[in-house]
Each structure stands twice: as C-alpha cells, then as structure tokens.
Amino acid sequence: MARAGRCWALRLHELYPGDVGVVIALLLNDVHLEPGEALYLPPRRLHAYVQGVGIEIMASSDNVLRGGLTPKNVNVDELIRVLDFAPWRVEPIVPRQVGVESFYDTPAPEFRLSRIELDAAAPWRTDDRRGPEIVLCTRGQASLVDARGAARELRQGGSIFVPFSSGSYVIEGHGQFFRATVGL
C-alpha cells in the first residue's frame, strides 16, 4: 500500500498540482476491485475513484461535498463537519446471480443495482418491477420493449429511463446491461 500510495500521489500531483486532496488520498483505503465486483459506501464516507470504470448509484441527496481532486467547489469546513472518520473495513460485494441477472445486495433501501448478461439467443424479461428504472448498456446492443409494445434501441454507452407506468419490459439483444431500480 505505501509504495502504491506514493505512485498514486505522484500521479495525482501531476493531475492536480497544489491540491491538498493528493495528501488526503493517501489516507484512504486502497481498494482494488476485480471486474464484476462492487463496493457499498455508507453515507458520510470520503471516497475517490482513481482508475478504471465504475457504475455509481446513490440515494437522492442534495449534500454531495467534494474533498479535492476536482476543479469543482470544495467546502472543507462543511466536509469536515459531516464526514464520519471512524475506521471501517471495506469489503467488496460479490454479486448474487439469478439466471442472467446478478444482484449487488446492499443495506440501502433506496436503490438496487443489478447486472444483466445477455447473448442473442434468449431475451430477458422483467418480473419484479417496483418503480421507475434506468437501464444502462455497457457492452453490446439491444431493444427494450415495454408492455405496450413500444421499442427503444439501446447501444453501448446509452441508457434508457423506464417509467413505472410502462409496466414490464423485455430486453432483446446481446451485451451487458446495468439495471438501477427502487430498493426492496
């Protein structure tokens, strides 16, 4: 960790010269996730993505505060007031697979995230809608067809908001899709 931290500090210093966030980053847990793994971060925890691609989902909030490493506003006094500085162990979440859908189970009641892996042979159908959803395509392409027969195309990098009033829907195609839903 110490050696990796120094390497990150040098790289972050190049990207954000003079930013105190470089030093703060050295105090954070250095967590490496394998493809398909996830983290759950409870409220009031400072975090930073340093490398790679991640899907982030969070509860509705108007209190996002930044600690550095950004050209956006940083309110240090408010950040220090709300942060939880207690030590905690960061444990990766390995998804629970049910058919072609893998669920990232967390204690958050506000949302639920799952990953759907499809080949072109069989479509995927919803059976557990609780509210509005967002479907994001990270690989491949598909059609999303709702209960009324309305079809929308979904390609890599694109997303579709699915109102609850659309009823159940089917994804026909191939690729990797993330589904953000209302929690349990």
pLDDT in tens, the chain (184 residues): 445 556 778 888 898 898 888 888 888 888 889 999 999 998 888 888 878 888 999 887 767 888 888 888 888 899 999 999 998 888 899 999 999 999 999 999 999 999 999 998 899 999 889 999 999 999 999 999 999 999 999 999 999 999 999 999 999 999 999 999 998 7
pLDDT at 3: 53
Distance from the Cα of residue 62 to its chain's centroid: 18
Q: 3-state DSSP call for residue 141?
A: strand
User: Which tokens in the block code for residue 165?
Assistant: 């009033």
Q: Which amino acid is at 143?
A: S
All structural domains of the chain: 1-94 (no CATH), 96-181 (2.60.120.10)
Q: Which of 3, 11, 44, 66 is catalytic?
A: 66
- State if pTM tops 0.85: yes
| Tokens 């892996």 sit on residue | 117
pLDDT at 62: 65
Active-site annotation holds for 66: yes
